[in-house]
Structure 1
Amino acid sequence: MLSIEDNHLLTRAGPATPMGQLVRRFWVPVLLSRELPEPDCPPKRLTVMGEDLLAFRDTDGRVGLIDPVCPHRGANLYYGRNEAHGIRCVFHGLKFDVHGACVDIPIAPPGTDRERLRIKAYPAREAGGLVWAYMGPEPVAPAPPALEFTLLPESHRYVSKKWQACNWVQCVEGALDTAHFSFLHMVIAEDEAKALAMLKHAAIGAQSVQNDRVRWVRDDPMPSFEVNPNDVGLTIGGARRADEDLYWRIAQFMVPNHALAPSAFPGELMHGQTWVPVSDDACWIYTYTWHPDRPLTEREREMCESGHTVHAKVDEHFRPLAGPHNDYMLDREEQKHRSFTGIAGVSEQDAAIQDSQGPIADRTRERLFSTDVGIVKYRRLMLGLAKELQEGREPAASRLGHRYALRSGGWVAQRGIPLETVMQERFGDPQGYVGRHYGLE
């Protein structure tokens, strides 16, 4: 369990909070690139870590992320005209570029001091089909993190996002808690053949039911965990009995808000998620699927679009179709006879449980077990970094963007082999680092 004080420190990410200041030392995704589809298209309102902002794509295709309030009379620039390399306030015509500079003041004489009219603007870049922003102090972190999906051609990846109405930290913890796969995402059937057939048509995907993996997860609900630090976070390995060997499911956490799913074997699709606080009780979840060696097939894209694996079925505003407003479409007959939850979709199952913990989970009431060691290590890491920042020590990972090129996934290894050796066998590197394949040092 956590103290009340540490729970507050861990979960609050507003502009004046220690955790909010920590997250702001890193580039975070704020939009899908396709939400600003072309130069001079309509701007987008957004809220990131408690700040109301405006995003627009200018005539040259550059993305601006600015304070939406015109400094003249306070009109909201969301209603502005996106034109000729800037956004113009429709109240009196003041115009601002992607850097926040006032580039035209038609109501003032030549020589008017434009610098006093500059508005706040955050650096924005695009990578991996996402718009990333740096909202921290100078000096600006060098670049967005080199997550592997951002290093690949568009044909090799699929990115999406969804809204979730709870604190971002319980979503992160849900991803790092891989022990729950034995229950939350499991089906119920009279025999194993029927269970496997059901899973092949479920959101977990056909690739996850191969090589007895479902049986191993179902039959061993108490995996043994080993957690190793990596250069930018934690490697969390959970080992289950696999007949004479051990089945390892290895997740990666990268500070402050990225995690990679533990399921992929060599040649299979990989998945990850990034959580961005909107407020203390809501967040955006950016989800991505990629294959490092080939384009995604049309069928694989259709699966992502229809809400499989980490992706959710969403409406045009990226709000999940299944949510607290309709009890996540829970089917009690389904739950009684075919699945533990009665809820369709891995993403939807995760959301139901994470939301059920409340807008901000009360961690003072928890009673943890050995299978929660990854969660404990995650909390210690994040609380430690936030406290160090308060003491004036900057997070080293914010300057190590290239070290985010990590992989996670599954492997079968002999018993008695430590996680570091399993990582070397599976990925050719004890941390799962693949940046060398892309020319990163």
Structure 2
Amino acid sequence: MMTREDNDFLCRVEPGTPMNAAFKRYWLVAGLSRDFPQANSDPRRSTMLGEDYVLFRDSNDKIGCLRELCCHRGASLCLGRIEEGGLRCIFHGWKFDVDGTIIDMPNATDDRFKQRYRQPAFPVVERGGLIFVYLGPREEQPPFPNWRWLDFAPEQYFIAPVIYNTNYIQAIDGGADSSHLTTLHQDALTRQHPVTDNNAFRRIMADAAPRFDTYATEFGQFSAAFRTITRPDGSTYETCKTSVFAAPSTVITNGAYPDQGTFAFFTPIDSYRTIGYLGNYDSAWTTPEEPLAAMRFMSLDPETLDRLGFSPETCDSPGRASRDNNWYQDREGMRNGRFTGMPPFIPEDIIVAESMGAIYDRTQENLIPADQVVVRIRRILMDMARDVQEGRKPIGLRSPVDYSNVYVGEGAVEKGQSWQKITLPEEFVQRERLEA
């Protein structure tokens, strides 16, 4: 059972909180490359951990991330002009490059002022259609996490940004919890669709009460969901499906082989709102229609997200699906065979998370063994924040991690077999198991 103090410690991410400092020690997703389609694209605001930043692409096609408010007199640089080599504040014309260096200062004739001041700027890496930013101390900057799908061809993955009007941990809980799939997502997993035309989803639906195990690692944990499957001859076996949690907020699930899976990068906007960069990747995809089919299956297509108000562009619209309108739940559809009365899959996750309130009071939970995966993720996060608070390196940053070898899998586990040797990357199975 979690205390109120622990729940507050876990959930609060505003400046000055331990979790804010901890998140800033990692690379976070701040935006999408497609929002800056060409050199000199318009600047855009990115709010992370309760603080505002501005992203822009300069004339050299480089992405920059600066503190939003100008270091001169505080005007928003999101109002600024993108000009040759940088971003110009419209208040007094100070112009900054992607590193925060002042390259023009029209209202000062003494060039020494250009060297004296600097706009706070942050390291950026652009990979796989995502813009990653490091917000922490420069001397603590970690290596970039080289997830294996970040170099896939464009037709082998898709990314959809979604807004949760909840704390980040509620988004993670839903993404990492395999035991809800058979119930909450049954409308999706049982309908006829090209994506569900495989045995993996049938195995999920075959057992609503999976058992779990976790395997702690240097970056977070692998978790395994075991389901009992009955063969045509009446005999049974267990199937093991793994998922990954990587500190501070990455979840990977639903892969049958190393180059296939579902990913979620969750970035806290503040303590009450989260943006999830969700998507699927599959090296077997060869045409744009395949990721599009997966996107529609998960209800991550722009039309559905815009209609519900779950996209960044519509999340503040008056008609957003919310508690006030009961998230537009279709009770008539439920009476006619649909289980949730909601658009299937990801919108169901968002709605359930939001139904708990912006910050759920975990002192009211009544936990069972099926909840061990999310409980251990919470422990990882709290230990991560305490480590940073006490001057120690947090999980994932103590030793090099090759994230290209971190993936999920599925396999049959016969009696006496080790699920780790069947479904986990060999690199991690060979190492001594960490205490979960």
TM-score (norm 2): 0.88
Q: Name the structure 2 match of 1:6.
A: 6
Q: Name the structure 2 match of 1:199.
A: 191
Q: Distance in 2 between matches of 1:21 and 1:267?
A: 33
Deviation at 1:164, TM superposition (A): 1.1
Deviation at 1:175, TM superposition (A): 1.2
Q: Name the structure 1 match of 2:181.
A: 181
Q: Distance in 2 between matches of 1:142 and 1:133?
A: 11
Q: Distance in 2 between matches of 1:153 and 1:226?
A: 34
Q: Distance in 1 between matches of 2:64 and 2:414?
A: 52
SS at match of 2:412: strand
Q: Is the 8 A contact 1:248 1:410 kept in 2?
A: yes
Q: How does 1:2-401 map to 2 (within 5 A)?
A: 2-187=2-187, 198-201=190-193, 206-211=194-199, 213-243=200-230, 244-261=236-253, 263-266=254-257, 269-292=260-283, 294-306=284-296, 308=298, 313-315=304-306, 317-319=312-314, 323-324=321-322, 326-398=325-397, 400-401=400-401
Q: 1:228 to 1:37 in 2, by over 3 A?
A: same
Give me the identity figure in percent.
Answer: 27
Output one character per residue of 1:341-371: Cα deviation in whole Å (capped at 9) or x when no partner: 1112200111111111110111000010010
Q: 1:267 to 1:172 in 2, by over 3 A?
A: closer
Output one character per residue of 1:295-315: Cα deviation in whole Å (capped at 9) or x when no partner: 442322322453627667323
Q: Distance in 2 between matches of 1:327 and 1:12?
A: 26
Deviation at 1:142, TM superposition (A): 3.9
Q: Distance in 2 between matches of 1:159 and 1:47?
A: 19
Q: Which AA in structure 2 matches 1:361?
A: Y
Q: Is the 8 A contact 1:423 1:430 kept in 2?
A: no
Q: 1:29 to 1:391 in 2, by over 3 A?
A: same
Output one character per residue of 1:120-178: Cα deviation in whole Å (capped at 9) or x when no partner: 11111101111110001122524431112213233322122111110110110111110
Deviation at 1:381, TM superposition (A): 1.3
Deviation at 1:281, TM superposition (A): 0.6
Q: How many residues align?
A: 416
Q: Distance in 2 between matches of 1:148 and 1:328?
A: 36
Q: Is the 8 A contact 2:298 2:346 kept in 1?
A: yes
Q: 1:43 to 1:264 in 2, by over 3 A?
A: same
Q: Distance in 1 between matches of 2:329 and 2:292?
A: 24
The root-mean-square deviation of aligned C-alpha atoms, in Å, is 2.5
Q: Distance in 2 between matches of 1:378 and 1:68?
A: 32
TM-score (norm 1): 0.87
Q: 1:381 to 1:375 in 2, by over 3 A?
A: same
Q: Which runs of 5+ in 2 are unaligned?
A: 231-235, 432-436
Q: Distance in 1 between matches of 2:415 and 2:299?
A: 29
SS at match of 1:183: helix
Deviation at 1:431, TM superposition (A): 5.3
Moved more, 307-316 or 296-305: 307-316
Moved more, 102-111 or 52-61: 102-111
Q: Which runs of 5+ in 1 are unaligned?
A: 188-194, 434-441
Output one character per residue of 1:260-292: Cα deviation in whole Å (capped at 9) or x when no partner: 11x332498421101000010101100121123
Q: Distance in 1 between matches of 2:356 and 2:430?
A: 32
